[in-house]
Amino acid sequence: MILLFDIGNTHTHLGLADARRVLKQANLPTVAWGRGSPRGVLQRFAGGARLEGAVLCSVVPRATAWVHQAIRQLWNLPCLELTSKTLCGVGINYPRPATIGADRLANAVAARHHFGAPVVVVDFGTAVTFDVVDRAGDYVGGIIAPGLSAMTDYLHEKTALLPRIRIREVQSVIGKSTEQAMRVGAVQGYRGLIQELIRALKRELKAPRLPVVATGGCAELIGARLKVITAVDPLLTLEGLRLEWQAKHPDRGDKSMSERGRAQRSQETPAIC
């Protein structure tokens, strides 16, 4: 069993995985690492699992050091940190690889493994990010747009009359109140954004049947009515971390294809290492 850590600006996503799949997941505030409080949470999360190691990706350098320390003190385990230099699951064709967020690389690894190449990941987080793997299996770049919550919170904070709203499905494109109008702009507007950008990516990649995998907080909501979305996978980043560990430790665990992979993969793609 291995521990997985996706360390983001707001939350750290924890995972526990075996050689086949991610078995369970939990979230905790990233700021909690500085107070040392997550150690009890980690022990309870791991339970009595027999741990072989840990793997992490992070966009918060200070928290990265805290997680390394916690893993060492609690279990004295080896910990693999996913970066552009340690990456195995995809190649990189990008001018400054070190500037690519490690979570985006993990997403690309999981998407390529399960859906082949080319493939695109749309991650609905604080920002909406698009990550592109080309036909050669290389990460080649992406797109960054403001996230839904960032947009609606900004409207609330910068205007006198616009309220803070909860993002949920809309039934009409004509809002009958301020809240409804804002919700239409967010939900339907972002669907339009995603659809048009995917259309442009298909043209540029010359891939009319381009697989698109959605992940992140609003992925299910926005992807529900978009035909351009091939699959929604809330565990995509953690799955990428699991695959990176397996690529580095092929002699450990069951090397057979997971049931999850059989259900989702469109073509076999070997790890690049």
Tell me if 210 sits within 8 A of 198, measured CB to CB.
yes
Sign of CA dihedral 252, 254, 260, 262: positive
Give residue for tokens 């909501």.
221
The closest of 92, 121, 91 to 236, measured between CA atoms, is: 121
Count of H-run helices and E-run strands, the chain: 8, 11
101 Rama class: left (phi>0) / alpha (psi -120 to 50) / beta: beta
Q: In what order do the strands lie in the sheet with 119-124?
A: 91-92, 138-146, 127-133, 119-124, 212-216, 231-232
Tokens describing residue 36: 């040392």
User: What proportions of the chain, in percent to the nearest 5, are helix, strand and coil?
Assistant: 40, 20, 35
The dihedral formed by the CA atoms of 148, 214, 25 and 98, expressed in degrees to the nearest 10: -90
User: Could you give the C-alpha distances from 51 to 3, 238, 268, in angstroms and in order?
Assistant: 7, 16, 29
Query: Which residue among 103, 123, 131, 134 is the active-site one?
Result: 103
Q: Is 6 a catalytic residue?
A: no
CB-side neighbour CA atoms (13 Å) of 64 = 14
The closest of 165, 191, 159 to 177, measured between CA atoms, is: 165
> How far is it, in rounded angstroms, from Cα 130 to Cα 142?
5
- Annotated active-site positions, please? 103
